[in-house]
Amino acid sequence: MKKLDNLFIGFMLFSMFFGAGNLIFPPFLGAQSGTNFWLAIAGFIVTGVGLPIAVIFAVSLVKGGAQAMGDRVHPIFSTAFMVAVYLSIGPFLAIPRNTNVAFEMGVTPFLSGSTNTSLYLLVYSFVFFALVYVISLNPTKMEKYMGRFIAPVLLLSMVVLIVVGLVQLDAPLQSPSELYNSGAFFTGFLEGYNTMDALASLAFGIVILTAIQKKGVQGRVQLRTNTFKAAVVAGVLLTVVYVSLGLIGAKMAVNGSFEDGTDILSSVATLLFGQSGTALLGVIFTLACFTTVVGLTTACGQYFSKLIPKTSYRTVVLLVSLVGFTLSNLGLAQILKVSVPFLVTAYPLTIVLILLAFFSRLFSHSKKVYATTMLFTGVFAALSGLETFGVDLGPIDAVRNMLPFSSVGLEWVAPALVGFVVGLLFTKFTKQETVVEKSELKAS
C-alpha cells in the first residue's frame, strides 16, 4: 500500500474520531486547569488519544476483532458488551449528541433569537441524516469522501482558528479551578472519557481494516502494520489539535467564566474574526460532527448486519439514521445526562479488556484470568456509574471511598488487580484450563 494511502486513511480515522466532544472538552479543560494545564492535558491525551489508538491496534491483533476479545471473557459478555457499546456510540448517545452540537454551533447563531428553534432543528437533522444515509451506504468510498475531501477542509479550518488564536491571544495562564487544583492529571484522564473515542475505536477498528483491505492488503502482519501507521497519523493530529484548543481555552480564561467549551470557542471566533468567525466555527463543527456520525453509522451497519445475518447492511444504516434523527430532536441536555454515567461504567471495562489483550500471552490466554478481572472491574465500574447517575449507594459508597485511587475517580483499579490475581490463582490450581481457540492464537 502506498504511503499516501496510509496518510489518507489516517485522515479518515481522524475525521471519524473528531466530533463534538473532541472540540468542546479541550478548551474547557484549558480554561479550568490554568497553570496546571500541561498536567491536565497530559491526562486527557492518555485516554483521549493513547487509549483509542491502543484499542485500534489491539483490534488488529486479534482475528475477529473486538468481538473475539470479548469472547475471551465469555461469548454472552462479548455480545452484550459490544451491543451496548455500538448502541451508545451509535444511535442512542454519540450520534444524536454530534447532530445537536452541529446544529447549535452551525445554525443557531444565525437564527437571531427565533422561537422556532425546534422546527429548524427538525429540518436540519432531516437533511443531515439524509446525507449521512447516502454516504454510509457505500463504506468502500469513505476513504475517498472523508480522507481526501472532507478531512483536509476540516483540518484547514482548524489550522486557521488555532494559528490565529495562539498568535493573537497572549494572556498568562490563570490559577486553576478547584477541580484542577490538585490531581490535575487524573482529572484530565477522566475528562478524556467524554470524547467516547476509546469506545468508538472498538467499532472503527473493523472499518479501518476494511479500508486497508480494499487497497489490496491481505496478510495479517501487513494489515497490522498499515493499521498502526494510519492510527499514528490520526493520533498525532488529535494530539496537536487537543493541545492547541486547550491552550486557547487557557488563554481565554482571563476574559471571565464560561459555561462550556462551545461558549469558549464561540467567544474566541467572535473576538478574532467577528461575524465571519461564527461562520468559520459553524463549518468546523458541522464537518467534524458529520464525519463522526458517518463513521459511527457505518460501523453500526457493519456490526449489526453480521450479528443478525437476516438484516442487511442497508437496513441497519436506515434504522440507525432514523433512530438518530428521532433522538436528536429531544435536545442535547437529555442526551448528556445519560451519557456520562454510561461512560464511567464502560471505560474501565474497555481499558482492562485492552490491557488483557496486550499481555494475554503472559498468562497463556487464560479465560479464567479474563473472566475474574472483568468481573471485579465491572462491579465497581457499575457502582461508579450508578453514583454518577445520582443513585444513593449508602454504606457501599463508604467502602468504595476506602479503595486506593478513589479520590481521583479510579477506584476500579484495585479491584481489577485483585481480580487478575484471583484469575491467576484459579489457573494455577485448576488441572484443566480453558484457553482461547488455537486458530485465534495463531492469528494473534
Span 316-354, pLDDT tens digits: 999 999 999 998 887 666 666 667 788 888 889 999 999
pLDDT in tens, 8-42: 888 888 888 888 788 889 999 999 999 999 999 99
Grid cell digits, residue 402: 476506602
Residues 406/400, Cβ–Cβ less than 8 Å = yes
Q: What is the mean pLDDT of residues 159-168?
A: 91
% of the chain beyond a pLDDT of 70? 92
Confidence of residue 126 (pLDDT cuts 50, 70, 90): very high
Closest by CA position to 251, among listed 266, 268, 272, 274: 268
In this prediction, residue 143 carries a pLDDT of 64
In this prediction, residue 125 carries a pLDDT of 94
Q: How many CB atoms lie within 10 A of CB 330?
A: 12
Query: Between vectors from CA 16 to CA 148 and to CA 202, what angle results, nearest 5°?
Result: 135
Query: Residue 257 and residue 34: Cα distance in Å, rounded?
Result: 12
DSSP string, 177-195: PHHHHS-HHHHHHHHGGGG
pLDDT in tens, 224-263: 888 888 899 999 999 999 999 999 999 999 888 888 888 8
Q: Which of 109-123, 310-324, 384-398, 402-416 has the highest mean pLDDT?
A: 310-324
| Least confident range of 148-152, 159-163, 181-185, 308-312 | 148-152
Confidence of residue 438 (pLDDT cuts 50, 70, 90): very low
Query: Residue 49 and residue 235: Cα distance in Å, rounded?
Result: 6
Amino acid type, 137: L
DSSP string, 198-216: HHHHHHHHHHHHHHHHTTT
In this prediction, residue 241 carries a pLDDT of 93
On the question of pLDDT at 433 being above 50, the answer is no
Residues 6 or more apart in contact with residue 355 via CB below 8 angstroms: none
What are the backbone dihedrals phi and psi of residue 111, each rounded to the nearest 5 degrees, phi first?
-85, -10
Q: 166-179: buried (b, 16+ CB within 10 Å) or exposed (e) per residue?
A: eeebeeebbebeee
Per-state percent for the chain, helix, strand, coil, to nearest 5: 80, 0, 15
Amino acid type, 413: V
DSSP string, 333-359: HHHHHHHHHHHHHHHHHHHHHHHHHHT
On the question of pLDDT at 372 being above 60, the answer is yes
On the question of pLDDT at 444 being above 60, the answer is no
Amino acid type, 236: V
Grid cell digits, residue 226: 498499515
On the question of pLDDT at 358 being above 60, the answer is yes
Confidence of residue 113 (pLDDT cuts 50, 70, 90): low
| Beta bridge partners of residue 435, listed in sequence order | 366
In this prediction, residue 139 carries a pLDDT of 72
- What is 3-337's CATH superfamily? Hydantoin permease (1.10.4160.10)
| Least confident range of 83-87, 410-414, 428-432 | 428-432
Amino acid type, 425: L
pLDDT in tens, 177-187: 998 998 899 99
On the question of pLDDT at 278 being above 70, the answer is yes
Q: What is the mean pLDDT of the chain?
A: 86
Query: Residue 290 and residue 302: Cα distance in Å, rounded?
Result: 18
Domain residue spans in the chain? Answer: 3-337, 359-444
Query: Residue 345 and residue 341: Cα distance in Å, rounded?
Result: 6
260 torsion bin: left (phi>0), alpha (psi -120 to 50), beta (else): beta
Query: Residue 378 and residue 345: Cα distance in Å, rounded?
Result: 7
Supply the DSSP symbol for 88. Answer: I
In this prediction, residue 442 carries a pLDDT of 47
Q: In a 10 Å sphere around its CB, with 0-12 CB exposed, 13-18 middle and 19+ buried, how is residue 4 labelled?
A: exposed
Confidence of residue 188 (pLDDT cuts 50, 70, 90): very high
Q: What is the mean pLDDT of residues 299-306?
A: 90
